[in-house]
Structure 1
Amino acid sequence: MDEILNALTNSSVWAGVILTFLLKAVFKRTPQVLKGFSRGLKLRHIRKIKRLRHNQDAVTYHSIKAHAYFLLFFGCTAFFLMLVSMGPLVPLLKLPQWVFFIAFSPVLFIEIMWLNQNSLAQSLIEHRGKLRVTRRSIMCPVVQGTDLRSDAASAH
């Protein structure tokens, strides 16, 4: 019984109770806000893919960029693990865990860059195959940002 009374007089318990009710009130509206934000991000991503998928060079460039980020991530991870296992970062293992994560954060940042670029490249490749082939698209292909018909007319 004394433990319960001590817990009720403890300010951290009351802070936890108040925080619980505040978080419940905040998260009641969160799904609506997150849904709108998520739809906006998805729309921006789809517009980017529709703009880039017509240009085969852009698709290839983003695919190569994803592979380069993977190699960079792999090299940084191997280098960091080598430094931790036998180099000057061995004392880092004796420090608190959050210090290790702060030191490792550049590698995690490179991993996020690689995963984002890889996702974009996969989407571009997937949507590249969804292009419709029509008579007009065969006769005058559109390259990103240029209109070949106006170039041909100015050449004559």
Structure 2
Amino acid sequence: MDQNTINGLIGGALLAYVIPKLSPYIDKYLKRIFGFLLNTVLKPLKGYFRNKRLNRLKEFRIMRVNNSAVTMQVVRAHTYFILFWGVIAFYMNLLTEPDFPAILDKSFVFGMFLTSPIYIFELLWLSADGKAKKLVKNRGRLGL
């Protein structure tokens, strides 16, 4: 065995012995830090997110009894899906042009900015699709 292997084995054995001994102190320190962060930073945010969730649930309860609203949400999700694939086809067409790949090679940030509509339409589609699936699921609970 060479020296690096021996050093690795000794270091691993020391870590396996030391870490369990230090663990209670590390846990106490982390609990104090995370307790401070939870009380001062995250508790105000918790109320905000609970309020947003409550408003979203109220919106779902109102929309789920309206057939037109449920259908409109499903159509919106499909429309965003078609737009997403349309933008992908547009950019695939642009990639066949000789100038566009050269622009992407020059600056990564500018290239990401130019291709941002793909990501925007993907996020819109995923958001609308999730909302439509939840509406259809809640609609089924009504038994109508």
Is the TM-score greater than 0.5?
A: yes
Give distance in 2, aligned partners of 1:57 and 1:82. 37
- Identify which of 89, 111, 133 aligns with 1:100: 111
> Hey, what does 1:32 align to over in structure 2?
43
Superposition deviation, residue 111 in structure 1: 1.4
Stretches of 4+ moved more than 6 A in 1? none
TM-score, normalization: structure 1?
A: 0.62
Computed over aligned residues only, the root mean square deviation of the Cα atoms, in angstroms, reads 2.2
Superposition deviation, residue 60 in structure 1: 1.1
- Identify which of 92, 95, 112 aligns with 2:123: 112
Residues 71-121 of structure 1, C-alpha deviations (whole Å, 9 max, x = no match): 100110121122124354121222221111111112211111111111110
Where in structure 1 are there 5+ consecutive unaligned residues? 1-23, 134-156
TM-score, normalization: structure 2?
A: 0.67
SS at match of 1:130: helix
- The change in CA–CA distance for 1:74 and 1:37 in structure 2 (over 3 A counts) is same
Superposition deviation, residue 33 in structure 1: 2.7
Does the CA-based 8 Å contact 1:84-1:92 persist in structure 2? no
Residue 142 of structure 2 corresponds to residue 131 of structure 1: yes
In terms of fraction of residues, the more helix-rich structure is: 2
- The change in CA–CA distance for 1:59 and 1:94 in structure 2 (over 3 A counts) is same
Give distance in 2, aligned partners of 1:88 and 1:40. 49
- Residue type of the alignment partner of 2:41: T
- Residue type of the alignment partner of 2:95: V
Number of residues of Structure 1 aligned to a counterpart in Structure 2: 109
> Hey, what does 1:45 align to over in structure 2?
56
Give distance in 1, aligned partners of 2:120 and 2:44. 26
Identity of aligned residues (%): 29
> Hey, what does 1:81 align to over in structure 2?
92
